Chains A and B, each alone.
Chain A
Amino acid sequence: MKIFKNFIIILILLTFNNLHANENNERNEITKNLRCLICQGQSVYDSDSDFANSMKILVDKKLDEGLTKKEIYIYFKEKYGDWILYDPGLNKNTYLLWLLPIFIFLFGGAIIIKSFILKK
């Protein structure tokens, strides 16, 4: 058990050491999270439509201007609404969305423990 714990700790430490992203990756990451508004359910990254291509250029431009990922998301959100982001952030519209599955998980666990393990 002790060895196991140590391994986990080393693992965690090492994985954090490699935090360096290059710009192209960042662009891809952002465009994967943006919905191509004229396509049927495709991301900007996946699509080759004109809209998507101009969005890709726009993201590049924003990155060059020195905006962070978060700021770029906010920029697009203000311009096109929540619909454009594939990652729905946690806000008053999405509390249920994020928390309901977790709640169901906890609830299920409670039922299992109560009715099968602890029952006498």
Chain B
Amino acid sequence: MIYSVVGHYSLILGLCAGLILIFFSIQNFKNSNQLDTKILSFSFLQFFFVLISFLALIISFVISDFSNETVFNNSHTTKPLFYKISGTWGNHEGSLLLWLLVLTLFIFIFLLRTKNQPIRYKILTLGFQQLIIIGFFLFLIQTSNPFNYLFPAPDEGLGLNPILQDPALAIHPPILYLGYVGSSIIFSSALAATTLKMVSSSWAIHIKKWVLISWIFLTLGILLGSIWAYYELGWGGFWFWDPVENVSLMPWLALTTLLHCILVLERKEILTSWVIILSIATFTLSMCGTFLVRSGILNSVHTFANDPERGLFILIFLFALIFLSLFIFFFFHQTSKNNSSNFFWLSKETSILVNNWFMMYFLSVVLIGTVYPIFLDVISSQKISVGPPFYHKLIAPFLIPFLFAMAIGPRLKWIRSDLKDKFYLISLLIISILMSFFIIKNFNINILINSILIFSALYLFFITLRDFFIKKYKNFAQNTAHFGFSLLILSILFNNLFSSEIITNLKVGETYDNSKTKIVFESINQKKEKNYKSIIANFNITNSEGINNKLSPELRIYNQPNITTSEADIKTTLMKDKFIVINLVQNQDYFNVRYQVKPFMLWIWLSVVVISLGGLVSFLQKRI
């Protein structure tokens, strides 16, 4: 009880700190010889208040204080401590509080760490950021207060959705939010820089660090979500082009485009308008994502909490931000009068433009695919589904030239270039053709587009691999990320093409046998945990090479809420995953058994880690 009061009032104090900060910023902006120390203190104070509030919520969860409505809705006394804590941000109210926590932390770090930039720019960025922060405060206090009382306090809570009780999902939201919120700093800073007409190389160098931070966290956040979907949702897929997945991919695409585009701005002070538009777009897309997920407009596996009133608030807030940024962009932005915007067709600039071009295309595919069904439903009340086939058809063919551009582009010089090492480029081309040819011949791939994709991804793979040895540390960050991307495409392709699967119904003691695989359903154990009962099935699986595996998938029957989940058992090895999951068949003593062999699964995860490592290297690198 007391914690809810503390949390609630400290939220209001945080909001007050925001208003005071805006007041100080205006004063300081008029008289801007040096940064007012009060600004720094209040910024810290704001972060501190939100932290108190966040800790209060965590404590409420830990002690299971059911007089708090959020705790009542999302927790239960029998839940393990770890999930009581992670349950804090496993729900709408708590996750918004986490958003706010990161927002206030980031702006404080921004003020502290930004040196060599004009004072007025820092103050203005703070001002824009405070607008966002105050918006979130109002949203939180108005429509989704995490500290609502319940009287009389219930004895027991409703419990957390069991599929959210998982270690990967406990850290997935915080990591993803670090990425989203980082993009808000980019947004505010771009608006500030536009207003002060200082979008230049030095600004690009300064903001690039923030772009990299958000990019790394966003990449890792998406990865964690994907890993979670793979083992928890029980179908062995890792990406379904589900609206909620798309919504996290869109800011990532925009941010990746920005990351490349800013390289040009760093050098040549051109493309300024484009950089600003991308900065605005990235944050707007993150907000759009929050809106679409929270408003319940989308039909998705990942929709856990929705409420139309919240949707309306976010929508209004979103429009206000878009309007503000467009206003600033059109009234303050000066296009550079630099004449050097004429690019030679074979140069690094052009290749970055090509990157931007394709990325924008991918973004538009994902965006249109996600929102088109909503609009169609509203306009003509026709319901259509846009699923994986749509995205594959529109994206896969365009990946081929994209991969080639990724291989060649980084090797070009600025301004004007011609291809060096033609011999290597062509010989690697031939090697990759031969290799893909070999793969296709041996494994009966019968789709043309896949074979060409394999070939182009292999090409990128070889070229980046060679660059590791030839160029050593030059362009190391970029090369690592591109290498990771080629590995990702290859792993996804091989995973798609060579996965095999057996679906069958078995009773205890029965055996399934085809020529390649023998599955013996040996026994069943029962186990009782604090918050669930589980049925563990033991399988013995022998494949054609005589390798024996014991796998024990589980069915968990949670008591609060009463939901049954299937826990897959996965045997991960370097080259392939063996994945087995069981389900009850209604009113029978059979179990539905699904056994999958999925090659290169581990490599999909690893390659995304490699991609973000590329970002990390670039972040740590001193600029030469």
A residues with a Cβ closer than 8 A to B are: 3-4, 7, 10-12, 14-16, 18-21, 28, 32-33, 35, 39-43, 45-48, 50, 53, 81-88, 93-94, 96-98, 100-102, 104-105, 108-109, 112, 115-117, 119-120
Which 6 A/B pairs are nearest by Cβ-Cβ distance? A86-B387, A46-B235, A87-B389, A83-B383, A48-B583, A116-B343
> A42 contacts which chain B residues (CB < 8 A)?
233, 235, 240, 301
Contact, CB under 8 Å: A97 / B243: no
B180 to chain A, nearest CB (A): 22
Known contacts A83-B384, A100-B368, A105-B398; A4/B451 CB under 8 A: no
Known contacts A3-B430, A104-B361; A88/B446 CB under 8 A: no
Choose one: B240, B452, B583, B594; the contact of A41 (CB below 8 Å).
B240
Per-position binary interface string of chain B over residues 353-369, scored 1 when its CB falls under 8 Å from any chain A CB and 0 otherwise: 11001001100110011
The A interface is mostly helix, strand or loop, or mixed, namely helix
* Size bracket of the B interface: 35 or more
B390 at the interface (CB under 8 A from A): yes
> B242 contacts which chain A residues (CB < 8 A)?
41
A80 to chain B, nearest CB (A): 10
How far is A46 from B235 in the complex, measured between Cα atoms in Å?
A: 5
Report 22 cross-chain contacts, Cβ distance below 8 Å, ordered by A residue.
A11-B451, A11-B452, A11-B455, A16-B446, A19-B446, A32-B388, A33-B389, A41-B302, A46-B233, A46-B237, A48-B583, A50-B586, A53-B585, A53-B592, A86-B388, A97-B386, A97-B390, A98-B394, A101-B394, A105-B364, A108-B360, A116-B343
Known: A41-B242, A112-B353. 14 other contacts (CB 8 A): A4-B429, A11-B433, A14-B441, A39-B301, A46-B237, A48-B566, A84-B385, A88-B390, A93-B382, A97-B386, A105-B357, A116-B341, A116-B349, A119-B342
CB contact list, B377-429 vs A, under 8 A:
380, 382-390, 394, 398, 429
How far is A82 from B594 in the complex, measured between Cα atoms in Å?
A: 29
Contact, CB under 8 Å: A18 / B383: no
Contact, CB under 8 Å: B447 / A15: yes
How far is A83 from B237 in the complex, measured between Cα atoms in Å?
A: 22
B338 to chain A, nearest CB (A): 12
B345 at the interface (CB under 8 A from A): yes
CB contact list, B209-246 vs A, under 8 A:
233-235, 237, 240, 242-243
> A16 contacts which chain B residues (CB < 8 A)?
446, 448
> A112 contacts which chain B residues (CB < 8 A)?
353-354, 357
A30 to chain B, nearest CB (A): 11
B445 at the interface (CB under 8 A from A): yes
> B299 contacts which chain A residues (CB < 8 A)?
40-41
B372 at the interface (CB under 8 A from A): yes
How far is A10 from B430 in the complex, measured between Cα atoms in Å?
A: 13
B437 at the interface (CB under 8 A from A): yes
How far is A10 from B455 in the complex, measured between Cα atoms in Å?
A: 14
How far is A115 from B271 in the complex, measured between Cα atoms in Å?
A: 11
B440 at the interface (CB under 8 A from A): yes
How far is A37 from B455 in the complex, measured between Cα atoms in Å?
A: 38
A50 to chain B, nearest CB (A): 6
Contact, CB under 8 Å: A41 / B301: yes
Contact, CB under 8 Å: B433 / A101: no
How far is A81 from B385 in the complex, measured between Cα atoms in Å?
A: 10
Contact, CB under 8 Å: A120 / B342: yes
How far is A100 from B394 in the complex, measured between Cα atoms in Å?
A: 11
Known contacts A101-B364, A112-B357; A48/B384 CB under 8 A: no
Contact, CB under 8 Å: A15 / B387: no
Choose one: A4, A15, A40, A48; the contact of B448 (CB below 8 Å).
A15
Contact, CB under 8 Å: A82 / B433: no
B11 to chain A, nearest CB (A): 32
Known contacts A40-B300, A88-B390, A116-B341; A14/B594 CB under 8 A: no
